């Protein structure tokens, strides 16, 4: 099957990089980008772009028909921190959009579907160290609830209707091209921007808050790897644990200080601290490593190097 791909939520942090990567592999005419507004001109101007409301079933179906789409990446979602401000909106967006694509897949309009889950499926009662694939899951955020429920529905649609849906539980994703929006792990991107702009950062999480994280290139690789794997290799149809590195704001500070020795950090935890405290510190992703040969590449120091180098380059280009 030649993939004809639709990315829903293509202007966001992960969606934008996925769009560029998939276009470089399959050609820009085979990868249609879509989002609710034109909020990333780089994406809007780099190939076919459709304004699409992921909550509007008819519009999604029309877009799929129009472009003869067979593969969908549903990247639109409201993340953990914003979700706590707008709980019902988060529920509606995250669930409506998923049901629309699952139903279109059930009806045969979509052959293969990627839907991201998150470490937010875990909660305060989950074992925090090396969190297993199968364990207690009592998420305490609306975002986490939508992801856990979504996972159950993905597995159900696969088992009952044969829908080829694939999913991974992303940790915090660190990248320099597009800013994240509304997540609890966003501090790990902001810190690099502020290090370059002001040589200091006020962190909204406490210094010892350890969370699982990953560089964007690893996240994109994982996404492509699971989508390229043979259907028989995908033994988990809810969502796979996925891991790369785990660290605290203090660890990040020390890594940044290797490049910027005068960089300082202060701590002013806000409502996001409680969310971070409910999530795992580290993740056991042995199923992903065994089933579809997942392997990460970037350590914390590699990430720091990439972030500082590319953000400095970007600053020079825009000035
Ligand atoms: C968030 O912080 O909400 C997201 C996530 C871990 O899914 N980055």
Task: Express each pLDDT in 153-209 by its tens digit.
Answer: 999 999 999 999 999 999 999 999 999 989 999 999 999 999 999 999 999 999 999
Cα–Cα distance list, 161 to 6, 74, 107, 111, 291 (Å): 21, 19, 9, 12, 22
Which of 120, 188, 243 is the pocket-test mutation for ligand 1 (most atoms within 8 Å of CB)?
120
Q: Is the CB of 183 under 6 A from ligand 1?
A: yes
Mean pLDDT of the residues in the chain? 97
**Residue-level pLDDT at 2:** 85
What would the DSSP string read from start to end of 271-295?
A: THHHHHHTS-SSB--HHHHHHH---
Task: Express each pLDDT in 92-151 by its tens digit.
Answer: 999 999 999 999 999 999 999 999 999 999 999 999 999 999 999 999 999 999 999 999
Atom of ligand 1 nearest to the CA of 180: 8
pTM: predicted TM-score of the whole model, two decimal places:
0.97
Q: Is the CB of 178 under 6 A from ligand 1?
A: no
Neighbours of 316 (CB within 10 A): 8
Query: 68 C-alpha vs ligand 1 centroid, how far in Å?
Result: 32
The span from the CA of 242 to the CA of 254, in Å, is 25
Closest CA to 3 of 58, 68, 62, 53: 68
Q: Is the CB of 22 under 6 A from ligand 1?
A: no
Which residues are catalytically annotated? 143
3-state secondary structure 78-144: CCHHHHHHCHHHHHHHHHHHHHHHHHHHHCCCCCEEECCEEHHHCCCCCCCCCECCCCCCCCCCHHH
Q: Is the CB of 123 under 6 A from ligand 1?
A: no
Tell me, what DSSP letter sits at residue 74? E
Atom of ligand 1 nearest to the CA of 171: 6
On the question of pLDDT at 1 being above 80, the answer is: no
Q: What is the mean pLDDT of residues 218-233?
A: 98
Whose alpha carbon is nearest atom 1 of ligand 1?
183
Owner of token pair 């050609």? 27
Percent of the chain with pLDDT over 70: 100
**Residue-level pLDDT at 131:** 98
Query: 184 C-alpha vs ligand 1 centroid, how far in Å?
Result: 6
**Residue-level pLDDT at 45:** 93
Sort 36 into a burial class: Cβ within 10 Å, 0-12 / 13-18 / 19+: middle
Q: Is the CB of 119 under 6 A from ligand 1?
A: yes
**Residue-level pLDDT at 318:** 84
The CB-based long-range contact list for 183-190 (8 Å cut-off, 24+ gap) reads: 183/79, 183/80, 183/81, 184/79, 184/80, 184/81, 184/211, 184/272, 184/275, 184/276, 184/279, 185/211, 185/213, 185/276, 186/81, 187/249, 187/272, 188/213, 188/252, 189/307
Strand ranges of the sheet holding 31-35, from the earlier edge strand across to the other edge: 49-51, 31-35, 5-8, 71-74, 112-114, 165-166
**Residue-level pLDDT at 187:** 98
Task: Express each pLDDT in 154-166 by its tens digit.
Answer: 999 999 999 999 9
Q: Is the CB of 146 under 6 A from ligand 1?
A: no
Which of 173, 179, 189, 210 is the pocket-test mutation for ligand 1 (most atoms within 8 Å of CB)?
173
Task: Express each pLDDT in 50-93 by its tens digit.
Answer: 999 999 999 999 999 999 999 999 999 999 999 999 999 999 99
């Amino acid at each position: 099957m030649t993939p004809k791909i639709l990315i829903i939520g293509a202007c966001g942090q992960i969606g934008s990089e996925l769009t560029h990567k998939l276009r470089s592999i399959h050609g820009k005419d085979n990868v249609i980008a879509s989002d609710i507004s034109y909020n990333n001109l780089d994406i809007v101007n780099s190939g076919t772009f459709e304004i699409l409301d992921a909550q509007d079933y008819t519009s999604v179906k029309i877009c799929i028909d129009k472009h003869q789409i067979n593969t969908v990446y549903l990247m639109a979602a409201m993340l953990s921190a914003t979700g706590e401000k707008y709980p019902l909106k988060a529920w509606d967006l995250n669930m409506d959009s998923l049901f629309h694509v699952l139903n279109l897949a059930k009806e045969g309009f979509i052959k293969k579907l990627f839907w991201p889950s998150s470490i937010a499926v875990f909660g305060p009662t989950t074992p925090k160290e090396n969190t297993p694939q199968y364990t207690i899951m009592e998420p305490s955020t609306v975002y986490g609830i939508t992801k856990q429920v979504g996972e159950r529905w993905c597995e159900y649609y696969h088992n009952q209707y044969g829908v080829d849906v694939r999913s991974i539980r992303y940790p915090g994703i660190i990248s320099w091209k597009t800013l994240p929006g509304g997540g609890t792990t966003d501090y790990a991107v902001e810190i690099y921007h502020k290090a370059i702009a002001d040589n200091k950062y006020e962190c909204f999480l406490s210094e010892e808050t350890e969370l699982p994280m990953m560089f964007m290139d690893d996240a994109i690789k994982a996404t492509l790897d699971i989508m390229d794997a043979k259907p028989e290799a995908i033994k988990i149809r809810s969502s796979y644990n996925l891991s790369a590195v785990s660290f605290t704001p203090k660890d990040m500070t020390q890594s940044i200080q290797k490049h910027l020795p005068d960089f300082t950090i202060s701590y002013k935890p806000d409502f996001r601290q409680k969310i971070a405290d409910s999530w795992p510190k580290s993740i056991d992703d042995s199923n992903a490593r065994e089933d579809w040969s997942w392997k990460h590449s970037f350590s914390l120091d590699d990430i720091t190097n990439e972030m500082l180098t590319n953000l400095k380059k970007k600053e020079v280009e825009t000035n």
